[in-house]
Every structure is written in C-alpha cells, then in structure tokens.
Copies of this chain bind each other. A is one copy, B any other.
Amino acid sequence: MGSDSDLNVMRDAADILKEFSIAFELTIVSAHRTPKRMMEYATTAKDRGLKVIIAGAGGAAHLPGMVAAVTVLPVIGVPVKSSNSIDGWDSVLSILQMPNGVPVATVALNAAKNAGILAAQIIGTSDKKVAEKLKKYKEGLETSVKDKVKRMGSDWMNGFDKK
C-alpha cells in the first residue's frame, strides 16, 4: 500500500489471505515518496517468490501501475478513497485506465477484500488446495444469503421461500 493511511482499507486483503492460508507480505511502498524502494520492491518480487502483487493507493494512485511497469507478475489495484479525493474517481481512473501493454487488474473502490479473493483465484489456477477453499468460500456466500432469508421469517408474505 502507498501509505499507512490506507491500512484501514487494505487490512481486509490481509485478512482474507489468512483465511485462505496464503502467505503474504504487507508493507508500505510509496510510489511518490519512496520511488527507489518501489522500484526495488517490484523488480525483486518475482524472485522473492511472490505470485501476485496487490497494490492499494488513493488520489493520483500511481503505485499499482508503476509496480506493473517493472514486473511480469499480475498486479491487482485497489482504488482507495482517501480524504480530499474527488469522490474516489481520481484513484479509480488512475489505476484502471492503464495504457496497452501494462495492465492492472482493478477491483472496486476500497474493495481490498475482493483483491485478496482475486489473488487467491489467481493462485488457485495452479494450486488445488486454494481452488478447493475458493469453492467452499463461494458456497459459504450462498449459505449466508439463505440463512438471512430464513431469519427474515414469515412477517412478509413470500410464496417463493415458502415453497
């Protein structure tokens, strides 16, 4: 992440990766304040054994795109809605609208959790255990909705759920 102020949002990515038992690094790498550290971090990422990089940043968010410029690893970008952001549009567009040749896999505004899941899906393309966990996670999403449906009870008429 580009700043410690992004930690509140980016923590969700760490939490979901833990849930999937995927090892990860979590640190601050600022494109604008520590450009050399960023270059070094991203250049050496593949050799350190990383498979995917998640980069979250706000405002004119250059971190995801610059990391993508110096690695062949897939880079997931999380637009963070920082203070003084223009409604989040700045980080969304700074991360999404990359030129041909250098993609960033962008997720929704503040959606660090989805960045973690996407990272798991990428790893799951070659790791059966992670793929299996993703399948269970997906079933859990379904179950969770159905449980809520039950809890809503019969106060409301609902022919479909009464079937």
Inter-chain contact A27/B161, CB cutoff 8 Å: yes
Instruction: Give Cα A106–Cα B96 distance, bound, in whole angstroms.
Output: 7
Residues in B with CB closer than 8 Å to A87 are 86-87
Interchain CB contact (< 8 A) of A156 among B14, B32, B107: B14
A21 interface residue per 8 A CB criterion: no
Instruction: Give Cα A82–Cα B38 distance, bound, in whole angstroms.
Output: 27
Residues in B with CB closer than 8 Å to A14 are 156
Q: How many copies does the complex hold?
A: 8
Interface size on A (CB < 8 Å)? 98
Interface string of A54-65 (1 = CB under 8 A from B): 000011101001
A98 → chain B closest CB, angstroms: 5
Tell me whether A106 and B106 are in contact in the complex, defined as CB-CB below 8 angstroms, given that A60-B98, A86-B97 are known contacts. yes
User: Across the two chains, which residue of chain B brings its CB closest to A52?
Assistant: B125
Inter-chain contact A141/B33, CB cutoff 8 Å: yes
Inter-chain contact A32/B69, CB cutoff 8 Å: yes
List 9 A-B residue pairs with CB atoms under 8 Å apart, sorted by A's residue number: A26-B157, A27-B152, A31-B66, A86-B89, A89-B93, A94-B97, A98-B108, A100-B113, A103-B114
